[in-house]
């Protein structure tokens, strides 16, 4: 009986010791919750890391009441340090911070334009090797200094990192996670695009830094180096080809009109890349089946008329084709960068041939003949039929 009591007591004591988490116990108030990491080029080929971390609620103050801080509600602060590589820089940064950096909540990594031009492979090694940074975090290239995008205080979200993450989550534009980037770095096409972010000019009534960074266009990467930037308009073509249009709005003119437009939202697309090889000619057929719902019709045409609707369908089709071709032209002839992963499509269909030919892909890619095979349909017209607010006699039936 006695010994049983002893066993129970000692095992309880043992469990109690274990439950504290032993060596890896961390208190929340010993941690600095990193929300974003920005990488800039330092002097002498060094790297400049900037972390944005969240200030604990109690310290952030409520909107700087009584002047001083002004209207900005600052919930984040940044620190930066320069080092030979990221690990070294972060170690130095940690020395200047009373709390331990915690990466579990860090969902944003931003490379500056300059770092991206020098190559990002070394940085990706750190981010994917280190057990804390999360593979699902989003990666961006910034137009100017990456650190600047962290010193913004968004009016809506708590941190500028959170604002960027929410924008990416919204399925409107192009996004890339760390793991996707890691895959793209080793895939067959040797080229890819990373979302390119800019600082939104702050509105008139706001403080200068009371704004966010937003995604517009993409940085075109070849191997692991940035070779140029693509504008948002052209980038949209890439999103059609890679089947990532999301919930975007498409606006186009009827019969080549540049004054009166039709807008569709949301648009849905099913894209298929069909590679083929005829003799020495490599052909890629982009098969697209796209649908959209009308949200605005500036023209005088009545879309309920089947013949007019089919003409609108044709204009829609033409609009998609134009976008695709615009982007293709830039990718093939300006950048010579296969950001559409055509290479993977060839690799899948002609694995053996591809093994022999892949070293020539750089010469081959600009010469790939791309055919588009698009069927476009406007599926719904919204709540009205004929153009809204227009007299019956003006409507073209």
Partner 1 sequence: MVQDKETILPIQLSFMLYPTVMATGFLVLPAMGALYAPYDFWMSSILVIIPGVISIVLATSLHKRFPGMTIIESSQRIIGKWLGKLVGLLYFIYLLHLTGVISREYAEFVKSSFLFDTPLMFISCSLFFLAACAVRGGVSVLARSAVIFTTLFIMPFLFLLLLIPDLNWMYIFPMLSQGFVPVLKAEAVPQAWVSELFLMTYFLPFINDQNKAKRWLYMVLGLIVISMALVDLGVLFLLGPDTSNKLYPILVAFRYMSAGGFFENLEAMLLAMWVLGNFVKLGVYLYATVTSFSQCFGVSDYRSLAFPIAILASIFSLWDLPNTATLNILIKKVGVFEIPLFMIAIPLLLLLIAWLTGRKGTNQGGVNG
The sign of the dihedral angle between the CA atoms of 346, 350, 355, 359 is negative
Across the chain, which distance is largest between two alpha carbons, in Å? Answer: 103
Cα distance from N-terminal residue to C-terminal residue, the chain: 98
- Tell whether residue 344 is a contact of partner 1 (CB under 8 A): yes
Number of alpha carbons in the 13 Å side-chain half-sphere of residue 15: 6
- Tell whether residue 186 is a contact of partner 1 (CB under 8 A): yes
Nearest CA among 320, 368, 373 for reference residue 343: 368
Which one of the spans 175-183, 232-240, 369-377, 386-394 is the region binding partner 1 (CB under 8 A)? 175-183
- Tell whether residue 348 is a contact of partner 1 (CB under 8 A): yes
- Nearer Cβ to partner 1 (260/349): 349
Residues 6-45 as x/- pattern, contact with partner 1 by CB under 8 A: ------------x---xxx---------------------
- Tell whether residue 67 is a contact of partner 1 (CB under 8 A): no
358 within 8 A of 343, measured Cβ to Cβ: yes
Question: Least distance (Å) from partner 1 to the CB of residue 131?
Answer: 5
- Tell whether residue 66 is a contact of partner 1 (CB under 8 A): no
- Nearer Cβ to partner 1 (14/388): 14
Question: Least distance (Å) from partner 1 to the CB of residue 187?
Answer: 6
With CB under 8 A, what is the number of residues at the site for partner 1? 23
Q: What angle do CA 148, 196, 115 make, to 5 degrees?
A: 65
DSSP H or E stretch at residue 189: none
Tell me how far apart the alpha carbons of residues 272 and 243 are, in angstroms, rounded to a whole number: 8
Which one of the spans 74-82, 292-300, 324-332, 344-352 is the region binding partner 1 (CB under 8 A)? 344-352
Residue from the set 256, 279, 306, 351 that interacts with partner 1 by CB under 8 A: 351
- Tell whether residue 243 is a contact of partner 1 (CB under 8 A): no
72 within 8 A of 158, measured Cβ to Cβ: no
Q: Is 360 helix (H, G, I), strand (E, B) or coil?
A: helix
- Nearer Cβ to partner 1 (2/22): 22
Residue from the set 60, 94, 118, 182 that interacts with partner 1 by CB under 8 A: 182
Residue from the set 66, 67, 98, 131 that interacts with partner 1 by CB under 8 A: 131
- Nearer Cβ to partner 1 (201/351): 351
- Tell whether residue 325 is a contact of partner 1 (CB under 8 A): no
- Tell whether residue 134 is a contact of partner 1 (CB under 8 A): yes
Within a 10 A sphere around the Cβ of 224, how many other Cβ atoms?
18
Distances (CA, A) of 216 to 221, 231, 234, 322: 16, 7, 11, 20
Name residues whose C-beta falls within 8 Å of residue 217's C-beta, 6 or more positions apart in sequence: 196, 229, 230, 231, 232, 234, 235
Residues near partner 1, by CB under 8 A:
18, 22-24, 104, 131, 134-136, 169, 177, 179, 182-183, 186-187, 344, 347-349, 351-352, 355
């Amino acid at each position: 009986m006695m010994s049983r009591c002893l066993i129970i007591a000692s095992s309880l004591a043992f469990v109690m010791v274990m439950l504290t988490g032993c060596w890896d116990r961390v208190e929340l108030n010993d941690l600095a919750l990193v929300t974003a990491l920005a990488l800039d080029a330092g002097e002498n080929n060094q790297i400049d890391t900037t972390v944005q971390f969240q200030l604990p609620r109690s310290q952030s103050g409520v909107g700087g009441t009584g002047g001083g801080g002004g209207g900005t509600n600052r919930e984040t602060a940044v620190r930066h340090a320069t080092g030979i590589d990221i690990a070294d820089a972060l170690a130095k940064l940690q020395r200047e911070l009373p709390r331990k950096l915690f990466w579990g909540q860090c969902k944003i990594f931003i490379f500056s334009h300059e770092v991206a031009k020098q190559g990002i492979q070394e940085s990706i090694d750190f981010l994917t090797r280190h057990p804390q940074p999360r593979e699902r975090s989003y990666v961006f290239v910034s137009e100017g200094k990456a650190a600047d995008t962290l010193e913004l205080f968004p009016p809506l979200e708590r941190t500028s990192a959170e604002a960027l993450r929410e924008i990416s989550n919204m399925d409107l534009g192009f996004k890339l996670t760390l793991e996707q980037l890691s895959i793209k770095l080793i895939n067959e096409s040797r080229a890819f695009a990373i979302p390119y972010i800019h600082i939104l000019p702050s509105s008139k009534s706001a403080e200068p830094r009371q704004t966010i960074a937003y995604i517009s266009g993409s940085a075109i990467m070849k191997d692991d180096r940035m070779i140029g930037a693509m504008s948002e308009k052209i980038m949209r073509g890439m999103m059609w080809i890679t089947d990532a249009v999301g919930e975007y709005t498409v606006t186009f003119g009827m019969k080549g009109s540049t004054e009166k437009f039709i807008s569709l939202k949301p648009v849905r697309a099913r894209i298929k890349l069909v590679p083929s090889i005829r003799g020495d000619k490599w052909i890629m057929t982009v098969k697209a089946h796209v649908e959209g719902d009308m949200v605005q019709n500036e023209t005088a045409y009545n879309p309920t008329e089947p013949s007019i609707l089919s003409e609108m369908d044709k204009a829609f089709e033409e609009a998609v084709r134009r976008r695709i071709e615009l982007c293709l032209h830039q990718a093939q002839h300006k950048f010579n960068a296969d950001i559409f992963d055509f290479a993977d499509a060839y690799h899948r269909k002609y694995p053996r041939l591809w093994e022999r030919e892949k070293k020539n892909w750089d010469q081959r890619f600009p010469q790939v003949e791309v055919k588009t095979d698009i069927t476009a349909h406007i599926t719904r017209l919204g709540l009205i039929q004929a153009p809204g607010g227009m007299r019956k006699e003006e409507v073209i039936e």
